[in-house]
Amino acid sequence: MRDFLWIVSVCVLYLTTAKLGLAYAVVGQTVTLFWPPSGIALAATLMGGYRVWPGIALGALIANAGTDVPLVTLSIITLGNTLEPLIGTVLLKRQNNFSDTLDKVSDVLALALFGSVVSTIVSASFGMLALFVGGEIAFADIGPTFLTWWLGDGLGIILVSPILLTGVAAIRVIPVKMSSTKAMEALALLLALTVVGQAIFGNPRFAGLGYFPVSLSMFPFAIWSALRFGTFGAASVALLVSLIAIHGTAQGTGPFATDSAMESLIRGCVFADIMAITGLLLGTVSAERAKALATLKSCNEDLEERVRVRTEELTRANRELQKALTERRRLEQVMNEISEARLKIIGQELHDGLGQQLTGISFMVSSLIQLHMTTPTPEIPAVRQIEQFLGEAIAMVRSLSRGLYPVALETGGLASALNHLAGHAHGFSGIQCDFSCTNGLHSLSKTTALNLYRIAQEAVSNALRHSQAQRIDIRLSKVEDQYVLSVEDNGNGFRVQNPKTNATLGLRSMQCRADLIGAAIEIRKNQDGGTSVLVTGPINSEGQDLVQRIQ
């Protein structure tokens, strides 16, 4: 049923437009310079396939039957008219990426070359042969007849096929939604085109003068329609202008009209061909540009969407990472507090437990020595040596308890604890160890103060054990809104390493404590020898630690 509808529709359109073409016949009643059925046949074959050939053949047979040609001539003409669109379709389909929507410049050029120029040779050849065999033309008229037939079919294809192909594509693929402003613009274009076209091609004063440049006044309309309404608009304007030009020329008016009707129509046909191809190329270029802009916009929107999604993913991952880091720092802070609490307990136990017991034993030994002072015995020297060892043990216990539990940090603050650390280092090693401090550092939190003390304690311990220094300086200062803790020695120095990647437990411990309080730690060699440990961080108010700042 569908094939039958295609065949009937093609036949009806073929017959309807054949009457228009035959109205401009220049050789008998058969050969015309404008044959719209050729354009309908090619467009129908491209859209409906080769199955529509019966409709083309039937339409050609009935249309040419009214021209009173012999049966043999009629059969040959019908065969040529049927083969023309079939061969044209084959040639166009063989082209790479040809689209019957004419949305590329290459499609328009292929239609003009293979559809309008090459395939029409078949119909013109069969038609010329048919008229000669039927005795309708003499041998001398073979050339003009062929040329006229070829130009007429080519003009029909270049004018009619594009408007059918692009019109059906516009309705089928892109529903026509024209705003009222665009509709008014289209109406203004058609009215202006009709008025100007009639003024040029309907004016008898231009006839016979050969004033062809006046016809160029129609090209702005082709440009207007192509840029504003695309390929379909350009094809519509080209068809309308061609009809006006051919009709006026046939009536003997306009710049193409001469004493020879054939010469006049040939000029009009050439103008119509140039007008149509120019408009179609401009419309296709405009459509390609619009398509490229739409693709670019779509790609840009897609890229923006991907960036947005990726940004959300990165933001979410960053929040999760920040949450994990915060939790890790909180756990490190808790572990550090637990460790300090245990060290405090151990220090108190050493001081209050073992230290008190050793002190008690020392008192008992002293009392024993006092009892035997009046009656010397051989054991007195050994007892005195025991008393000496007990004194050394008590001093060692006090030193350990002071290191594990810096009482001065709680009673006098960080400055007092660092001062005690310097004094203890000097008393323990005999190396000169000095401490200096500037004002304005009383607002350091307990967490910050404790970790700074532990860092200084580790730095001093490293200097005493490894540097062979003669002097150690501990400085605590304030620079704007930051504190700076430095531990410098004049020893032989050591190879500076990154505390974050160094395998030494002491350096890793200092870096970990600096991270807990949001401080930066740097270990560097001094210019005059020795090593400096610098810790820099923000001054926090009492009770405000790193975890609170992150949260």
Residue range 61-97, pLDDT digits in tens: 998 887 778 889 889 999 999 999 999 999 999 988 8
1 against 213, higher pLDDT: 213
Boundary-marking domain end, from 176, 194, 219 = 176
| Per-residue confidence (pLDDT) for residue 351, from 0 to 100 | 58
pLDDT (tens digit per residue) in 187-224: 999 999 999 988 888 888 877 677 778 888 888 998 89
Residue ranges making up the domain that contains 42: 1-176
Domain contains 354: no
Domain contains 373: no
Question: What angle (nearest 5°) sits at the alpha carbon of residue 110, between those of residues 105 and 114?
Answer: 165
Predicted TM-score (pTM) of this structure: 0.59
The Cα–Cα gap between 379 and 375 comes to 11
| Per-residue confidence (pLDDT) for residue 126, from 0 to 100 | 93
Domain contains 503: yes
Domain contains 143: yes
CATH number at residue 498: 3.30.565.10
Boundary-marking domain end, from 130, 157, 176 = 176
Direct distance between the N- and C-terminal alpha carbons of the chain, in angstroms, rounded to an integer: 76
| Pair type for strands 25-27 and 31-32 | antiparallel
Structure tokens at 433: 């160890």
Q: Three-state SS for 102?
A: coil
Domain contains 187: no
Domain contains 189: no
- Asked whether the CA dihedral 493, 498, 502, 507 is positive or negative, the reply is positive
Boundary-marking domain end, from 135, 160, 176 = 176
Overall domain count for the chain? 2
Q: Are 100 and 46 in contact (CB under 8 A)?
A: yes
367 against 251, higher pLDDT: 251
Structure tokens at 325: 């880091």
pLDDT (tens digit per residue) in 408-428: 677 778 888 888 888 888 887
pLDDT (tens digit per residue) in 302-342: 999 999 999 999 999 999 998 888 887 777 777 777 776 77
Structure tokens at 203: 């004016």
CATH number at residue 117: 1.10.1760
Q: Estimate the share of the chain in helix, then strand, then coil, as percent rounded to the nearest 5.
A: 70, 10, 20
Does 236 score more than 60 pLDDT? yes
| Per-residue confidence (pLDDT) for residue 551, from 0 to 100 | 40
| Pair type for strands 31-32 and 482-489 | unpaired
Q: Give the pLDDT band (50/70/90) at residue 294.
A: confident
Domain contains 512: yes
The Cα–Cα gap between 302 and 307 comes to 8
Domain contains 160: yes
| Per-residue confidence (pLDDT) for residue 542, from 0 to 100 | 41
The Cα–Cα gap between 198 and 192 comes to 10
The Cα–Cα gap between 3 and 92 comes to 22
